[in-house]
A and B are shown apart, each in its own frame.
Chain A
Amino acid sequence: MKVTGTLVNYYFHCKRQCWLHANKINLEDNSEDVRIGKILHELRAEGNKNSEIAIESIKIDKLTPDYLIEHKKSDANIEAAKWQTLFYLKILKDKGIERKGKIQFDEKNKQEKTIIYVDLTEDIEKRLQELEQEIIDYCSSATPSPAILDKKCKRCAYYDYCYI
């Protein structure tokens, strides 16, 4: 199993979603929000050509001489976005490309800033290493954790499956 940025993000956002996605019971196709996100992403990508870069199992929105830039539609889950970006930074670093992380939010609901900066430290790198194993172990377990109804679930592509 290969850990991807999406899985890291889901792991922080919702473990259950992470498990289902990793076991290919992916339900993103159901979600109009996901579709809108995809199109906005494409529009942005066309604006600045050759911006999206795929390295191994990860896809990076944009790479500048100083920054790796990750776009997010909203700041609904900053923690998840941070770890996803840090995960990308580490993979780049392992390839000999060192950058700082910059996360841009299209909509800010929870906080004041539209841009957040993140950077690798020794501790974070160590944590990422453990994290990768944690995610692999969790997703290889027989069943996902049960659904816990939360406000965030209402808009999730997995809502119907989780609550039915």
Chain B
Amino acid sequence: MAEKKLNYNYIFLFYDVNELRVHKVFKICKKYLFHHQNSVFRGPITPSNIIKLRKELATIVQPKEDFVSIIKVINEYSFEEETLGQKKKDGENLFL
């Protein structure tokens, strides 16, 4: 149900799910977020879309076998990023 605090606008999503369901979870996530690295998505998102995303994932995820973790932050400026090596995914770029 509704959480009290609804003003998160950026999330990180990590998933560790049974192989059978990996691609289904992947498909759902890419509708809302950018693929960051294997089993990790992230990106700006509206509070209403967080509810939608969670609802969609809940229909796939098996509570006994799978684990999905969603870290919510206020916006894309509320964290700092450090990178080692080369980032291969460029979906977040303004230019493609």
Contacts and interface: CB of A to CB of B under 8 A. Distances in A.
**A and B from one complex:** yes
Interface of A: 32, 35-36, 38-40, 43, 106
A71 to B, nearest CB: 12
Contact of A35 (B1, B48, B55): B48
Interface in B1-46: 1-2, 6, 46
Given A39-B55, A43-B55, A106 B48 contact: no
B52 A39 contact: yes
A36 B55 contact: no
Contacts, number: 22
B96 to A, nearest CB: 27
Nearest to B58: A43
Nearest to B52: A39
Interface residues of B, number: 9
Contacts of A35: 46, 48
Classify the interface of chain A: helix, strand, loop or mixed.
Answer: helix
A38 B52 CA distance: 10
17 contacts: A32-B46, A32-B47, A32-B48, A35-B48, A36-B2, A36-B6, A36-B47, A36-B48, A36-B51, A38-B48, A39-B48, A39-B55, A40-B1, A40-B2, A40-B51, A43-B51, A106-B2
A35 B52 CA distance: 10
A36 B8 CA distance: 13
Most buried by A among B1, B48, B51: B48
A40 B1 CA distance: 7
A38 B51 CA distance: 11
Nearest to A36: B48
A20 to B, nearest CB: 22
Nearest to A42: B55
A36 B1 CA distance: 11
A43 B48 CA distance: 12
A75 to B, nearest CB: 15
Given A32-B47, A32-B48, A36-B48, 11 more contacts: A35-B46, A35-B48, A36-B2, A36-B6, A36-B51, A38-B48, A39-B48, A39-B51, A39-B52, A40-B1, A43-B51
A106 B2 CA distance: 9
Contacts of A106: 2
Contacts of B6: 36
